[in-house]
Amino acid sequence: MAIPFDLTGKNILVTGASSGIGRAIAIAAAEAGAFVVLVARNEERLQETAVDCGEKCAIEPCNLSDLDKLPRFVMNLAKKYGVFSGLVHSAGIGDWRPLKMIRAANLLDAFTVNCASAIMLVKGLSAHGCFDEKGTSAVMISSVAGGLGVPGQIAYGASKGGLETAVKCMALELIPLRIRVNAVAPALIQTPLLDAFEETGSQLSDAWQYKHPSGIGNVNDVAAAVLYLLSDASRYVVGTTLCVDGGYCAQ
């Protein structure tokens, strides 16, 4: 993958780096010159990502559901590796179930990992000595489901919608610190989860195919958008959500 945006000399923290979109972002950031701190629960899969990142990475397993510990977690990482120029929150829970099957635990899990953990991570990033005072970028991975109604994605869509509102609020608060906060909202992306679905012999419905005029995206499509937001090329982009959806939201 050709990397158009230089991240040389930047420390970037990436959550969800053990698989899918987060893994692709971490690898792309390392290829673009950044030192990447890889965060996820599964240390074994983080090791696999680290192999592709080469020497420009470190592994830091973490349970993002422990919200109160996240600010201190980021602060400790900054002490260990140096101030961060970027943070990408790609960890998330996909919850597909109709309203009649939703339980309180489903809602709490989705909001905790998809939205609340992002807020607490940025809180830690904004602490003194944790961010690059010359300019820092925080990028949240949202979803087109955060702005559009999708049957069966109530918990997931609501948590991503909340995340996008939080992005705007945090962006305005953190402008004085030169911390930019933005989101990237993909449509359906070919990830290991979708691969597993297709390996069962299942097929995406014609309706889903129709909603993606450019076809199903891949993880590098999202990674490229994130690299733009992490780089100095996007210095004037603040508090927005960039759709990476192949025309999904244009319909």
Rounded distance, CA 89 to CA 203, Å?
29
Q: SS3 of 39, please?
A: strand
Amino acid sitting at position 163:
L
The CA-atom distances, in angstroms, between 104 and each of 100, 109, 163, 246 are 12, 9, 19, 33
Distance of CA 33 to the CA centre of its chain: 19
Q: Length of the chain, please?
A: 251
What is the amino acid identity at position 19?
S
Asked whether 40 and 22 are in contact (CB, 8 A), the reply is yes
Torsion of CA 227, 126, 44, 31, to 10 degrees: 20
The backbone torsions φ and ψ at residue 170, rounded to the nearest 5 degrees and listed phi first, read -65, -40
Q: How many CB atoms lie within 10 A of CB 169?
A: 12
Q: State the catalytic residue, choosing from 156, 210, 228, 248.
A: 156
> How far is it, in rounded angstroms, from Cα 251 to Cα 95?
24
**For this structure, is 156 an active site residue?**
yes
Cα distances (angstroms) measured from residue 81 to each of 76, 114, 117, 131, 230:
9, 25, 21, 12, 18
45 neighbors 19 (Cβ within 8 angstroms): yes
Residues with catalytic annotation? Answer: 156
